[in-house]
Structure 1
Amino acid sequence: MSLPTRTDVLIVGAGPAGLATAIVLAEAGVDFVLLDRQAEGANTSRACVVHARTLEVLAELGVTGRLTELGVVVPTFTVRDGATVLAHVPFGGLPTAYPYTLMVPQDRTEAVLLARLREAGGDVHRPYEVTTVAGDDTGVTVTTTGGTVRAKYVIGADGMHSVVREQAGIGFTGATYAESFVLADVRMSWPLDREEVSLHLSPEGVTVVAPLPGGDDHYRLVATVAEAPEHPGIADIQSIVDARGPEGARSRVTEVVWSSRFRVHHRVADHYRAGRILLAGDAAHVHSPAGGQGMNTGIQDAVALGRLLARVAAGEPDALLDTYETTRRPVATAVVAFTDRMTRMATLRPRPARLLRNTVLKTVFSLPQAREKLAYQLAELAAR
């Protein structure tokens, strides 16, 4: 698709945040262009947790039912150390129509969002890479590898290494965790119930295992490793589950469907707006995968921002867009703080500290109020 030379809103990045914003704008009749530097189908599994608050938001866009059909409904979160269950957190009592976590790979989520966007009359322009972004009082000029577009507003939904954010001169404050992370979709025998996402604590590091759609042996594994290989294979994953899985239960990895390694940052953009340039998703905040909060927060950003832009396009004051940062940035800083606490707690290595942590966790989460509070926080219902 050739790029138009002018539009009201230019969205850079067609991940979940960019697609969700585009759906809102398309439904509101706002002229927009959504572009992405990747060819269609170049996305991968990546984020696969969709929480209750995000399902509420996506229901308003008409996609939650479709996602649920493609995913695995998981009603429980557990924290374990070997054979010991330190916390058993059910989502069933949450005050929502979606009292569970939905496990669905990101490429499927993006496919559902793209189909919904096309139903609304929109689409993605590919592959166009942004090279420069220059804003002034009346609009923003964006130069890409395939042409130049003049827009009234630009949304940077182009990920952690956002060109839009960098070109706008917005800082991205934070740091990087020392450990690398293994991320893998695998086929394996696993002794725990497929109705739980389990967080395993061990001296070797933290590991999360969650069921994925596509068969009873299909799982997502996330694990901290001092220096992970670029493409973890069967032997790498097998060594992780052997060392960190439930004691007394052998798990056998038979296939690595997809794998990656990555370094985890915890950063929040200093501002979500610079004139007519705004940020959403990973361009605005990144953090530990603990709790599966990242994509969820980004989608919620996107829908909130899309609705504000639709109101401005309909004639409300431009100053309305200032409320985007005041409402959504505190959500991101809280998520970063929460996931950082979870990560640091989970990656304790000294034995005395681990024993104390385990005792505290088991005592605290024996209380129903503590279990309910953690379920509510993981589900991001406080962000309503």
Structure 2
Amino acid sequence: MNGSILPGTTQVLIVGAGAAGLTLAIDLARRGVDFQLIEQASQPFHGSRGKGIQPRTQEVLEDLGLLDRLVAAGGPYPPQRHHAADGRFTETAFETSPPTPAEPHQMALMVPQFLTEAAMRERLAELGHAPRHGCALVDFEQDEEGVTARVAVATGETTPGGGPRQERMRARYLVGADGGRSDVRKQLGIDFPGRTLGVRAVVADVTLGGLPRDAWHQFNDGSMERQLALCPLAGTALFQLQAPVPLEGEIDLGIDGLNALVRDRAGRDDIRIESVSWASAYNMNARLADRYRVGRVFLVGDAGHIHPPTGGQGLNTSVQDAYNLGWKLGAVLRGAPDSLLDTYEEERRPVAEGMLKLSTRLLDAAKRGDNRRGREVHQLDIGYPQSSLALEVPERGQGLQAGDRAPDAHLRRAAGQGTRLFELFKGPHWTLLGYGMSWSSRSDVPARAGLRIHAIGDPGDAGNVTDYLDEHGDFREAYAPQAGDWILVRPDGYVAAFVSSGQLDALERFMNACGLPRA
């Protein structure tokens, strides 16, 4: 590596400050992991693009301290209003379900991507960090101890050779969160197989007159040549324009070009675009990286998978990639076995594979004018039952399994206050729940750094003094435990282990392997 090099060291170098990179940075920051977050663009992304936050991602963002501000910034999805050529219309409301104790979030939340990422940067600043914009990864090399990267810094300064100033950065690990055209993936030589889906679309953020903001306006459903959607973006004065366009040829993304497209497809002269804040035309692809890890370098988010936008799965999958990797990096940097990092690809790549199939199937349905969505887009049923990080002793024949998402539940504290199970999970720690046992039974499991232990009991069991009471039976209904069971929950909110009281040796060995050493 040649050039004007300035030294720098960190534990994790994150390349790309979109939703995936910011999520990973927040998670590492709250774990006290030293990192650098760099972004090639000189300014944050200012478009809407991914605007739907699914229920499972809302749970993730609640844990990271972001959900309340995103709910305040965004809003629910409006009904879809299907306009006919004669001026009449029909409406289709998004299917909703009431929240339950186990699943407190049941509806997708609309937040334009630029507002989501702004909230993430605000949260990161609260934790004492910020992305470095205008920093482009040039190249990197890795060895047994770490990764050495060259970064070009757009400061206006130049080297004697005329190029931008460069910094040499040394990190224990490097994470590519740099999007579908990922330089990190390309430099690793990882194949990105898949297919182009034969659909090109325009998406733009515009201000306009002539349409109310109480609906997501749809024109020419079922016609890929004439479809047009205009969706009011919650928390802004903008509409998001979406329209398929011919595969070849130039597309005018200015006011005049977009107004002509709207007039032609809506058949109306009263809808008038007044300004364009962001616009893009892109070809839809479905591609999945062959690998997510090479040595000390990882891919997260769109660097590992790209897909059609149907179903609102992309940003959500990217956030959850980073949420899965963050706690594992933190654990290994504290001394956990390196093999823990292999479970990132083991768990997340199959999820992306399923997500690509789902979003492609929904795209095919959308071509026919069918925009219905079911529970599958909520991502609440995603889990890792086949993961090497799932233990059941003895095996459970039915109900909640190791590897499944850990449900929420209403509880009552010993002192009388109400709380939620998610409040016990919130934070970077592991959680061990002992059911149907006394407070003193917690001593059966020795204390460990990064582990919080809670005893949960039933109100009618007067013989046990517990930390929390399952006052309404929510915990029993969601977890179906037996008296004496121990339930270990991972930092990312998935059940790691169900272990009976007579199998504590197996639980001890499992926690050692997961990087939870005795204190």
TM-score by length of 1: 0.83
Which stretch shows the higher mean deviation, 134-143 or 197-206? 197-206
Partner of residue 49, structure 1: 52
Partner of residue 91, structure 1: 96
Please say which structure displays the higher CA radius of gyration: 2
Q: Is the 8 A contact 1:272 1:329 kept in 2?
A: yes
2:13 corresponds to which of 1, 5, 10? 10
| Secondary structure, aligned partner of 1:182 | strand
Kindly, what percent of the aligned residue pairs are identical?
38
In 2: Cα distance, 1:286 partner to 1:206 partner? 23
Q: Is the 8 A contact 1:154 1:278 kept in 2?
A: yes
Q: Is the 8 A contact 1:75 1:90 kept in 2?
A: no
Q: Is the 8 A contact 2:286 2:360 kept in 1?
A: yes
| Secondary structure, aligned partner of 1:47 | coil
Matched to 2:283, the amino acid is: R
Q: Is the 8 A contact 1:231 1:261 kept in 2?
A: no
Which stretch shows the higher mean deviation, 3-12 or 145-154? 3-12
The structural deviation recorded for 1:94 is: 6.1
Deviations 1:133-176 (A, max 9, x none): 22222211111112111211110001111111111121111122
Structure 1: runs of 5 or more not aligned: 348-356, 366-370
The alpha-carbon distance between structure 1 residues 205 and 140, as it changes in their structure 2 partners (threshold 3 A), is: farther
The alpha-carbon distance between structure 1 residues 25 and 203, as it changes in their structure 2 partners (threshold 3 A), is: closer
- Number of residues paired by the alignment? 360
1:150 corresponds to which of 170, 173, 184? 170
Are 2:185 and 1:178 equivalent residues in the alignment? no
In 1: Cα distance, 2:333 partner to 2:242 partner? 42
Q: Is the 8 A contact 1:204 1:243 kept in 2?
A: no
1:21 corresponds to which of 4, 20, 24? 24
Partner of residue 375, structure 2: 376
| 1:125-274 pair list within 5 angstroms | 125-145=132-152, 146-189=166-209, 194=214, 200-213=221-234, 218-226=238-246, 227=248, 229-242=250-263, 244-245=265-266, 251-274=271-294
Matched to 1:331, the amino acid is: V
In 1: Cα distance, 2:311 partner to 2:16 partner? 24
In 1: Cα distance, 2:97 partner to 2:138 partner? 47
The structural deviation recorded for 1:272 is: 0.8
Structure 2: runs of 5 or more not aligned: 153-165, 383-404, 406-519
The alpha-carbon distance between structure 1 residues 93 and 250, as it changes in their structure 2 partners (threshold 3 A), is: farther
In 2: Cα distance, 1:91 partner to 1:44 partner? 27
Deviations 1:13-64 (A, max 9, x none): 1111101101100100111111111223454333222222212111111111
Q: Is the 8 A contact 1:52 1:99 kept in 2?
A: yes
Deviations 1:265-308 (A, max 9, x none): 21111111111111101101111111222111111111111111
In 2: Cα distance, 1:60 partner to 1:18 partner? 17
| Secondary structure, aligned partner of 1:298 | helix
Structure number having the greater helix percentage: 1
Matched to 1:288, the amino acid is: P
Matched to 2:56, the amino acid is: R
Partner of residue 100, structure 1: 107
Which stretch shows the higher mean deviation, 94-103 or 290-299? 94-103
TM-score by length of 2: 0.63
The alpha-carbon distance between structure 1 residues 248 and 37, as it changes in their structure 2 partners (threshold 3 A), is: closer
Deviations 1:357-384 (A, max 9, x none): 56xx6xxx9xxxxx7xx33222222234
Are 2:62 and 1:63 equivalent residues in the alignment? no
Matched to 2:287, the amino acid is: R
Higher relative contact order (CA 8 A, sep 6+): 1
Q: Is the 8 A contact 2:28 2:34 kept in 1?
A: yes
Partner of residue 39, structure 2: 36
Deviations 1:175-228 (A, max 9, x none): 22333210111223566773558694325254443221356x631122110047
| Secondary structure, aligned partner of 2:135 | coil
The alpha-carbon distance between structure 1 residues 24 and 312, as it changes in their structure 2 partners (threshold 3 A), is: same
The structural deviation recorded for 1:251 is: 3.9
Report the RMSD for the aligned CA atoms in angstroms. Answer: 3.0
| Secondary structure, aligned partner of 1:129 | strand
1:311 corresponds to which of 331, 334, 341? 331
